[in-house]
Amino acid sequence: MIQVQGYFDLRFEAVKDAFAALFDAPQERGAALCVQIGGETVLDLWAGVMDKDGQQAWHSDTLLNLFSCTKTFTAVAVLQLVGEGKLDLDAPVARYWPEFAAAGKERISLRHLLSHQAGLPALRQMLPAEALYDWQAMTTALAAEEPWWPLGEGHGYAPITYGWLLGEVLRRVEGRGPGESIVARTAKPLGLDFHVGLADAEFERVAHISRGKGNMGDAAAQRLLKTMMSEPAAMSTRAFTNPPSIMTSTNKPEWRRMQQPAANGHGNARSLAGFYSGLLDGSLLDSALLAELTREHAVGEDKTLLTRTRFGLGCMLDQPEVANATYGMGRYAFGHPGAGGSIGFADPERELAFGFVTNNLGPFVLMDPRAQKLARLLADCC
C-alpha cells in the first residue's frame, strides 16, 4: 500500500483515501494534492516517486513542470500591468511590439492574445529543434506570421506560442525576462515555491516526467492524435510540434532554465492552491480585473484542440455539460489544466483553491480524470 505523506482535515478523509487509491494503478509514479478553503489548508498530500528509476521518494518540496498551468500566472501578471496603466487590454499588441503589426496583425489586441482569438497557435514554417530555446528567433517568427484565421472568426488554443506572444509584451514593457516579471508579481508576494526560469540549484528537487503507456485517452485525445499522426502540416499538429523539440524537452536542463511562460513554470500543488487562494482573496487582482480574467471571452469548437473550449483571459472556464471540460465543482470555477494531468483552479462559491500535480502524464486534452475524481469527492465533502 502506498504511503501518503502530509496533512488532511478529517472532514476530507475520503479525498485522502481517493488520492491514495490513485496509486493502485501500476503506472502511477508520483503526485501531490493541496486544497485551501477560505485561505486555510485542508489537504496537503504527496506520495510516490519523483525520479526516473522509481528510487527517490516524492518530498514535501518536490517541484515539477506544470506545463500550461503556467498560463494563468502569465495572464495575471499582464492584468496587473493593465491595472497599473502600463498596458491596455484593447490596444493593438503592436503599440508595445511594433514588429508584430506585420502580415495583417495590426488590429490584434492583448485581449485577443489572452483569450486565444489571435489566430497564432502555431508557426507554418518548420523551425530547427534548437529554436525552442532562442527567444529572439521565436518572437521574430511570430511577429512575421500571418494569422491562421481572420480576427473575429473563432478561437484556437495556443499551447506554446502563448508564452512567446505574451512574454514578449511583458519583456518590452517591464524590461526584464518574462519569467522574472511573473514570479515577482505572483509568486513572491504570496511566498509561493513557483518558478518560470528555474535556477540550476533547484534541479535536484524536480520530478522526472514520463508518459503512461497503453492508455489512448478520451475521444478528444484520440481525435487530436489522429490529426497529428496523419496531417503533419495541419495547424493542430504544428501547434505541438514546431519546433519539433516541444514534446521532448520537459526533462532537459535548458527547458527548465528558459522563461517560457506558456508551459515551463515549475512548482507544486501547494503553489497552485496558494496562487488561486491569492486570486480569491484579492491579493493578486482587484475585483474588476478578476472579473475580466474570469469573464467568458471565447467559447465553442476549438480550432487547435478540436474539442469544445471556453476561455476567460488566460484561464479555462467551467463547462459542466462537457465531460472532459468541467472541474467537477461549481459553475463559476476557473483555472487551467496542464498537459498530462496537473491542474490548478478555484471555485469562488466554495472559496476553494485546488492544486493537483503528477509526473505520470495522462493522454487527456483538457481535464484529467484523476483530478476530476478528487474534485468531485471534495465537492461532496464541502
- Name 160's Cβ contacts closer than 8 Å, sequence gap at least 6: 239, 240, 246, 260, 262, 263
Convert 99-137 to b/e letters by CB count within 10 Å (16 or more is b).
ebbeeebeebbbbbbbbbbbbbbbbeeebeeebbbebeb
Radius of gyration of the chain (CA): 19
Q: What angle do CA 86, 96, 289 make, to 5 degrees?
A: 40
What single DSSP character describes residue 208? P
Q: Is-catalytic flag, 68? A: yes
Q: Rounded CA gap, 124 and 346, in Å?
A: 36
What single DSSP character describes residue 343? E
Q: Rounded CA gap, 1 and 241, in Å?
A: 39
Cell of 81: 500591468
Catalytic residue among 60, 68, 236, 271: 68
How many other C-beta atoms can be found within 10 angstroms of the C-beta atom of residue 158? 25
- Sheet harboring 352-358: ordered strands across? 5-8, 40-48, 30-37, 352-358, 343-347, 334-337, 316-317, 308-311, 298-301
In sequence order, the β-bridge partners of residue 40 are 37
Residues forming the active site: 68
